[in-house]
Structure 1
């Protein structure tokens, strides 16, 4: 049996889609968390000096989407064909465009965060959500980004929207996107994911 160890902060962040993949697959893993204040001590121990990082039988993988893609392949959440995988990557990279802007909101000066948040909600979210709705509409069934079951793209989408809503102080950023809103509800309704959502710690306050 493969031993998985996830290293990350005590937040949802970029680690949450990885946790969701484990929960959806029903695969056990160990998680080792640390505080932000302790990061300088742990940082040199990771190959890219970044987290999340995943140990797989003692071998370390860094970069959140590399980890998610690896797990998706292992657990069957990466489509059935190479073309499916390309469409999943297309959605993942589109969502990453939004996540990169979330990083700008997080990490800039605290005093100007309200202005960055306003720009994010006004200028970043609408076009990316519009693109994601078009990608969702391309799928014949229209229930998930690719195929008729949850893939890595859906997990990353769920996590990104959760984070956008969180830093928007609870605002529903999907309010004007009925198809994406329904997708998020379908993901949350999966019994294994719902069980995790019911017990996971709340997101940290930034």
Structure 2
């Protein structure tokens, strides 16, 4: 019997969207339970480590979005065919987290002076550094992040891109054709394309 799934997050794509992509890819039925940002902030202690997304699997609550994504990637055959390939995929996913962190660090800083400094560092140093190397990695792997085939690392890249673009204020991949093509390749997977066409319209 398929597990009963309830994804708990705010009304946004952001860190939950790679999971939604994987659920679409694997044709999983789940409850897409969305709360307001105000509701989340009112009592974060309801959630493990005061953070979301969370996922109920047959009533048992788990957290950490990338751990959950890895779990379901294994179920749908996107987590690698060997422990060596798993290592490469995990490395790519962690690198994408580092790339995303460059924007999060500045975007959520409420101190005007340090926010300005962090933004300059992000856009002038860190983002070109990461995006340039990720672009080359995709070129070296025949259009994918790892070993020339679709893995959950590619799903993560495409899944969080709207979120990082929102923080940046523009399409960060527009000058990186290999990365942009990979994002479009993931978005073109029929089941994911169908989800994107019907999902709620949110800013990030």
TM over 0.5: yes
The separation in 1 between residues aligned to 2:57 and 2:20, in whole angstroms, is: 14
Residue of structure 2 equivalent to 1:20? 21
Once the two structures are TM-superposed, the CA of residue 80 in structure 1 deviates from its matched residue by 1.3
Residue of structure 2 equivalent to 1:123? 125
Matches within 5 A, 1:181-196: 181-196=180-195
Instruction: Tell me the C-alpha RMSD between the 2 structures.
Output: 2.1
Q: Which runs of 4+ in 1 moved over 6 A?
A: none
2:134 is the counterpart of 1:132: yes
Structure 1 pair 160/33, CA: closer, same or farther in 2 (3 Å)? closer
Residue of structure 2 equivalent to 1:3? 4
What TM-score, normalized to structure 1? 0.87
The separation in 1 between residues aligned to 2:112 and 2:194, in whole angstroms, is: 38
Instruction: Using CA pairs under 8 Å that are at least 6 residues apart, name the structure with larger relative contact order, 1 or 2.
Output: 2
Once the two structures are TM-superposed, the CA of residue 149 in structure 1 deviates from its matched residue by 4.2
Structure 1 segments unaligned to the other structure (5+ residues): none
Query: Residues 8 and 15 of structure 1 are in contact (CA less than 8 Å); yes or no, is this contact kept in structure 2?
Result: yes
Query: Residues 17 and 160 of structure 2 are in contact (CA less than 8 Å); yes or no, is this contact kept in structure 1?
Result: no
Residue of structure 1 equivalent to 2:62? 61
Residue of structure 1 equivalent to 2:144? 144
Structure 1 pair 34/82, CA: closer, same or farther in 2 (3 Å)? same
Structure 1 pair 121/159, CA: closer, same or farther in 2 (3 Å)? farther
The separation in 2 between residues aligned to 1:204 and 1:116, in whole angstroms, is: 23
Query: Residues 117 and 168 of structure 1 are in contact (CA less than 8 Å); yes or no, is this contact kept in structure 2?
Result: no
Structure 1 pair 198/115, CA: closer, same or farther in 2 (3 Å)? farther
**Number of residue pairs the alignment of both structures matches:** 202
